[in-house]
Amino acid sequence: MSVLARNNVKVTGTSAQPMLFAHGFGCDQNMWRFVAPAFESDYRTVLFDHVGAGGADISAYDRTKYGTLAGYAEDVLEICRELCLERVVFVGHSVSAMIGVLAAVKEPERFDKLVLIGPSPCYINDGEYVGGFSRRDIEHLLESLDDNYLGWSSTMAPVIMGNPDRPELGEELTSSFCRTHPDIAKHFAHVTFLSDNRADLPKVKTPSLVLQCSNDPIAATVVGEYVHRQLAGSKLVLMKATGHCPNLSAPRETIAAMKAFLSV
């Protein structure tokens, strides 16, 4: 099976410079439907699904390969090689922000800029580092997810989305979580929430934008500020948008911040 079929890759736009969008945990490329079209006239936009999500080929899932975020980063690079993408603007949401960081560290010459939305290099508090959760918090979260993935999804998705005054957003995220293959989602959750990519941040040489939402229950402001400090020459934008998914809840603000960064 080709790389493009494996990851359900969709390409639009005819401009030379590519913009590659990578979705977060429990989501698929449909989560970019309010953001990606705004860039189609100026970029060759590339969307895909991580293996186990959306329309990606589930038979390609390998627990060993995807036992670390490096396996997902390798998929990103394989897509880039298959499409001969250079000077890539990588846009990663949530865990895919770190996936993009790993890809850019491995092949820095391939990437022009990184847009990291709600990034967290480590979710667990460690000494002076504040990730937002104790180890027991994460263990409890993963235990709950393992015991009842659908129940966990219906409870946690609205919390992750935030914006309780717009319940339809939480309902959409819940539906997205529930469409993801539960066994793969459970494994991906363990990989995501137990990962520690703090040491990778200083290795990034690609100009980066950190988009940090207000009242983000997954990646708090202090985490975004940490990522910004560790990425040399990066720009941090503190958004008015609340929750963890501004690509859905505040696409206009997300687009505006991205365009301001990319125009420099």
Assess if residue 104 is contained within a domain: yes
Report, as residue numbers or ranges, the catalytic residues: 94, 216, 244
Assess if residue 52 is contained within a domain: yes
**Distance, CA of 251 to chain centre:** 15
pLDDT at 180: 86
Assess if residue 170 is contained within a domain: no
**69 Cβ partners below 8 Å, 6+ apart?**
95, 98, 99, 102, 191, 192, 195, 197
Assess if residue 41 is contained within a domain: yes
Structural domain tally of the chain? 1
Residues paired with 133 in a beta bridge: 124
Pick out the chain residues at pLDDT < 70. none
CA dihedral 160, 166, 171, 173 (to 10 degrees): -40
Residues 246, 257 contacting (CB under 8 angstroms): no
pLDDT at 108: 97
pLDDT at 66: 97
Assess if residue 78 is contained within a domain: yes
Assess if residue 149 is contained within a domain: no
The range of the structural domain enclosing residue 205 comes to 3-123+196-262
Tokens at residue 18, please?
Answer: 């590519």
pTM of this prediction?
Answer: 0.96
Tokens at residue 48, please?
Answer: 């895909």
Taking the CB of residue 232, how many other CB atoms lie within 10 A of it? 13
Tokens at residue 77, please?
Answer: 């690079």
pLDDT at 14: 76
CA distance 257 to 85: 24
CATH of the domain at 212: 3.40.50.1820
Assess if residue 178 is contained within a domain: no
Assess if residue 145 is contained within a domain: no
